[in-house]
Amino acid sequence: MTDPTRPPAPPPTEAATPDPARAAEPRAVLARKRGLPGPYITGGEDADPGASRREERRYGTLLLVMVVAIVLAGFVLGIIGVLLGAGAP
């Protein structure tokens, strides 16, 4: 059953059709052995690349903050350990 609110899929373009010259490549041969229509995932277009880039920047910033926090926590815990005498004699 199809959703009446969804627009129909556009017809395949020239770029979406497989290249006959690349049909003999090992990747294409393996894909055919597995029963796949091609050696690539079709429809790889991002609907909103701007939002995707903003999300990637947010996650990159979060990763950087977490790495800095872990490194600083190591220094702080090391200094506290030395001050409390838990360091090496």
Q: What is the pLDDT of residues 48-81, one digit of tens each?
A: 778 889 999 999 999 999 999 999 999 999 999 8
CA 50/CA 23 separation, integer angstroms: 34
pTM, two decimals, is 0.47
Amino acid at 20: P
- Residue 29 confidence class, pLDDT cut points 50, 70, 90: confident
Overall domain count for the chain: 1
CA 23/CA 18 separation, integer angstroms: 8
Q: Is residue 72 part of a domain?
A: yes
CA 87/CA 70 separation, integer angstroms: 20
pLDDT (average), residues 78-89: 80
Q: Is residue 36 part of a domain?
A: no
For the chain, what percent of residues have pLDDT higher than 90? 30
Q: Is residue 33 part of a domain?
A: no
Q: Where does residue 52 fall: left (phi above 0), alpha (psi -120 to 50 degrees), or beta otherwise? A: alpha
Q: Which helix (H) or strand (E) holds 61?
A: helix 49-83
What is the domain range of residue 81?
A: 63-89
